[in-house]
Amino acid sequence: MSATATETSTAAAAVDAPVATDVTFKILRFNPEFAPEAYWEEFVVSCFPTDRVLTALEKIKGEQDGSLTFRRSCGHGICGSDAMRINGKNRLACKTLIKDLKTSKAITVEAIKGLPQEKDLIVDMEPFFKAYREVMPFLVTEGHTPTREWIQSADDRAAFDDTTKCILCAACTTSCPVFWNDGQYFGPAAIVGAHRFIFDSRDDAAAERLQILNSQDGVWRCRTTFNCTEACPRGIQITDAIREVKKALMSTGG
């Protein structure tokens, strides 16, 4: 007797159905109210290969230890709040699938490096945002704002299109060895923020921003190590943007 269409599709679905397995997460915990040093703690979570690391962290917090502390908001790679070091690399927990981590051992999760750790996976972002604010990340015009739409050619727009994609997650700056060694460096995210306006044909403050980045803590600190570009969850060509800022400075005699 031949199988019905329903029986065949049910059997195929059973063969293809993803299987949940126990995955060990090794998380660097820190709570200065109870202990001065950070320590590793392991949690075992039942995960599907297509689960995100953020889902696993939420399971741990909801089912095993409500004190586990981390930031997240959108859950979809937009808000930039859940950058963390997963298996030694900066990534967004909401965009990292368990199956892509390719590890048979525990998955390690730590706070991003180079900013003061406050609790578990949370760091103090203020030094990061301070550097960003200092590069004037806003349009500056000198009284020639049009009354209707502002015409900008496709080529003019393309000059800074890549750097408009930044979500200020800090994955780049906190993967930069220069920033680790010297928290004074503006860092790649601030330079990306400056680039977005320096190369905008409507803006009038490029010279001012370039001078800010020509300072002791500015672009010349970059050693072209590309960690920032590799870490960026938005795929921004950060090292190229930094090179363009350096080139603009050289062409103005900076």
Alpha helices in the chain (DSSP H): 5-16, 53-59, 126-134, 154-158, 177-181, 188-198, 206-213, 227-231, 238-251
Q: Among 24, 225, 247, 252, which residue sits at the site for ligand F3S (rule: CB under 6 A)?
A: 225
Q: What is the C-alpha to C-alpha distance for residues 140 and 143, in angstroms, rounded to an integer? A: 9
Is residue 228 a contact point for ligand F3S (CB under 6 A)?
yes
Looking at the Cβ atoms of 45 and 166, the one nearer to ligand SF4 is: 166
| Minimum separation from the CB atom of position 95 to ligand SF4 (A) | 11
Size of the site for ligand F3S (CB under 6 A): 13
Is residue 192 a contact point for ligand SF4 (CB under 6 A)?
yes
Q: Could you tell me how far CA 198 lies from the centroid of its own chain?
A: 22
- Residue 213's identity, in one-letter code, is L
Polymer length in residues for the chain: 254
Q: What is the C-alpha to C-alpha distance for residues 110 and 87, in angstroms, rounded to an integer? A: 8
Contacts to ligand FES from residues 73-102, by CB under 6 A: 73-75, 77-82, 92, 94
Contacts to ligand F3S from residues 49-108, by CB under 6 A: none
| Minimum separation from the CB atom of position 232 to ligand F3S (A) | 10
94 binds, among ligand F3S, ligand FES, ligand SF4, none (CB under 5 to 8 A by kind): ligand FES
Looking at the Cβ atoms of 81 and 229, the one nearer to ligand FES is: 81
Looking at the Cβ atoms of 12 and 78, the one nearer to ligand FES is: 78
Is residue 176 a contact point for ligand SF4 (CB under 6 A)?
no
Please name the residues in contact with 248: beta carbons below 8 A apart, sequence gap of 6 or more: 198, 199, 206, 210, 254
Is residue 85 a contact point for ligand SF4 (CB under 6 A)?
no
Q: What is the C-alpha to C-alpha distance for residues 239 and 36, in angstroms, rounded to an integer? A: 37
According to DSSP, the β-strands at 21-29 and 89-92 are unpaired
Looking at the Cβ atoms of 136 and 166, the one nearer to ligand SF4 is: 166
Is residue 223 a contact point for ligand F3S (CB under 6 A)?
yes
73 binds, among ligand F3S, ligand SF4, ligand FES, none (CB under 5 to 8 A by kind): ligand FES
Q: Which residue has the tokens 């937009």?
A: 78
Decide if 187 contacts 173 (C-beta within 8 A).
yes
Beta bridge partners of 91: 84
Q: Is 63 helix (H, G, I), strand (E, B) or coil?
A: helix
Binding site residues, ligand F3S, CB under 6 A = 176, 178, 188, 222-228, 238-239, 242
Residues that bind ligand FES (CB under 6 A): 72-75, 77-82, 92, 94
